Each structure stands twice: as structure tokens, then as C-alpha cells.
A and B are shown apart, each in its own frame.
Chain A
């Protein structure tokens, strides 16, 4: 099976702009989670989508949003970018039914740089 794919791999934006990141999960997986990784804060959970519904949400401002499509692909959007949003954004997929018990499989990440 193909792994989790994320596009684009690299992005450079300026403050105030918005950005959309895409994630395609492993075939058959219905849960997609997003994480932000920074040197200072480490890996932090953003949100999780399952069957096109947000099932869980971390502690991030409303500028961070997401959605999931019927084919389980997911997009994450960040509006009004700030310098502190520069990070590696990782997407993870899992079968979904097991909720907190599933193993998550990660994609290669999108490295976002905000200038």
C-alpha cells in the first residue's frame, strides 16, 4: 500500500497570507490527524478528522482549520499567517474505528516558512 502523502513538501509565504496543505491517507484509512512540529514546542496535535467530521481538536487558534473529503483526503488551512506558524506540519492516518487505540502512520510533512 502506498503511504501517507503530503503536498506540497515546502512552502514559503509572507505574514498575513493564507495557506492550504493537503494530505492523502493510506488507502482504507478514514482518520486523518494533523500535527505541528516546531523546535520550541515539539509535536503538537492540531485536529483529527474522521468520516468528514472533526472528531478531536487541539489547542490552536481559529486561524487553523481543516476539512476532510469523502475519499478521506484532508486539507489544512492557516489564515493570516504569523511568523510563529513556521513549522513542519505532519499528517497522520489511521483506520479510525479504534479511536485512541489506533497506530498512526505519518507522512513526510510540509515545511512551511513564513517570512
Chain B
């Protein structure tokens, strides 16, 4: 069965601090995809990144970076020099390639508050 855990329910940081959001997943598939989404107060889930299980290279996009480690089943997300606009709920999600159709399993989310 698929499962995604985000142990941090809420995090508060002061602007310009770095912050890491943790994501741990469970799956029996060897081929799967991991995602991060951002949900600002407006409610829409904004896609941030998609990573497949065969690509363990870390990725950096501006102030965002992602660390994928299969050995620990983790896909952590780091925001460098956080800004107030980063305040949102962040979700990690898992999709198994063997799924018949789309069926993402989401973690419970981490609410990030960046204080000025």
C-alpha cells in the first residue's frame, strides 16, 4: 500500500532563514513518482516538482531544492532564504507507475509560516 508521511505539521521561520520540509513515503513498486505541491491561502494546489524513482539526483530551482534518497525513502524539500510569499501548506505526493489511472496519495501537509 502507498503511504506518505509529513511529520512536521507546522513550521514557523523568520524571513531569510532556510527551512527543510520532510517527506517519507512507502511503496512496494519499484517504479513510482514523487511530487511536491504548494497550496497558498487561495486553495489551488500549485505543482512544484516531479521526480521518478530512478532519478536520485538532487534538483535545485532558484531558492528551492529537493533531496531524494531511496535508501531512506525520503524526498525532502528545502527553501533557502525564505520569503513571506513562501507561506503556504506544502504537500508531498506519491504515484505508483502500476496504478491503473491517476491516484495520487498525498501526505497530510506541512503548514509553513514565514514571518517578516
Q: Is the CB of A42 within 8 A of B106?
A: yes
For A, the interface residue count at a CB cutoff of 8 angstroms equals 27
What separation, in Å, do the CA atoms of A92 and B44 have in the docked complex? 10
Q: Is the CB of B42 within 8 A of A108?
A: yes
In the assembled complex, B45 has its CB within 8 A of some CB on chain A: yes
Residue B95, interface by CB 8 Å: yes
**B103/A56 in contact, CB under 8 A:** yes
- Among A55, A99, A100, A111, chain B packs the most CB atoms within 10 A around the CB of A100
List 3 A-B pairs, minimum CB-CB distance, nearest first.
Answer: A100-B99, A56-B101, A55-B101
Interface residues of B (CB under 8 A from A): 32-33, 35, 37, 42-47, 50, 52, 91, 95-109
Residues of A within 8 A of B (CB): 31, 33, 35, 42-43, 45, 48, 50, 55-56, 58, 88, 90, 92, 94, 99-109, 111
Give me 13 other A-B pairs in contact (C-beta within 8 A), A56-B99, A105-B47 excluded.
Answer: A48-B101, A48-B102, A90-B43, A92-B45, A94-B102, A99-B101, A101-B52, A101-B97, A102-B102, A104-B102, A106-B37, A106-B44, A109-B44
